[in-house]
């Protein structure tokens, strides 16, 4: 319900949704909240940690979701994560953009794939206004 309220999913924002209710389309992206190491000592885990120690900025460039079925309230999902490709391309204003891809698979209690996620982060050498 808190997530629904934060993203404007009005029909889920009135009261705690019943088990089995499909959740908003991007809810899987907040799985880091279930990582016991996340934000311990104010340190992020997962792809967010990619921003740590980068001299410039790390921005979210792309996000893809593929849904094998909807995620529903009450689902217990296990997340597997792997780093994907990395690549660079020149920036119009000069310098380089470095891209990093993170792939996640969310599986249910029967190990069936529910959601596949692809996140692309971009490291810039200087802030982009």
Instruction: Choose which of 14, 39, 83, 87 interacts with other proteins (CB under 8 A).
Output: 39
- CB atoms under 10 Å from CB of 12, counted, come to 19
Of positions 16, 19, 44, 96, contacts other proteins by CB under 8 A: 44
Other CB atoms closer than 10 Å to residue 11's CB: what's the count?
Answer: 9
Establish if 23 lies at the interface with other proteins (CB under 8 A): yes
Q: Which residues contact 64 (CB under 8 A, 6 or more apart)?
A: 117, 118, 119
Q: Compose the 108-127 pattern: x for residues touching other proteins by CB under 8 A, - for all others.
A: ------------------xx
Q: Does 49 bind other proteins (CB under 8 A)?
A: no
Which residues have C-beta within 8 Å of that of residue 61, sequence separation ≥ 6? 99, 120, 121, 122
Number of neighbours of residue 124 by Cβ within 10 angstroms: 19
CB under 8 A: which stretch of 26-34, 73-81, 82-90, 95-103 binds other proteins? 26-34
- The number of C-alpha atoms within 13 Å of 103 and in the hemisphere containing its C-beta is 8
Closest-CA residue to 23 (of 64, 62, 74): 74
As measured in angstroms, the least distance from the Cβ of 6 to other proteins is 5
Per-residue binding string, other proteins, 58-87, x by CB under 8 A, is: xxxxxxxxxx--x-----------------
Residue ranges in contact with other proteins by CB under 8 A: 2-3, 5-12, 22-26, 29-30, 32-33, 38-39, 42, 44, 48, 51, 56-67, 70, 126-127, 129
């Amino acid at each position: 319900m808190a997530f629904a309220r934060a993203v404007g999913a009005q029909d889920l924002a009135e009261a705690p949704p019943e088990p089995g209710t499909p959740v908003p389309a991007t809810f899987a992206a907040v799985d880091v909240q279930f990582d016991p190491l996340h934000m311990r000592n104010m340190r992020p885990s997962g792809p967010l940690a990619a921003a740590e120690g980068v001299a410039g900025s790390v921005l979210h460039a792309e996000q893809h979701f593929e849904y094998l079925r909807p995620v529903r309230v009450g689902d217990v999902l296990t997340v597997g994560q792997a780093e994907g490709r990395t690549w660079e391309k020149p920036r119009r204003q000069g310098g380089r953009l470095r891209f990093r891809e993170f792939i996640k698979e969310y599986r249910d209690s029967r190990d069936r794939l529910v959601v596949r996620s692809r996140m692309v982060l971009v490291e810039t050498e200087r802030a982009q206004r």
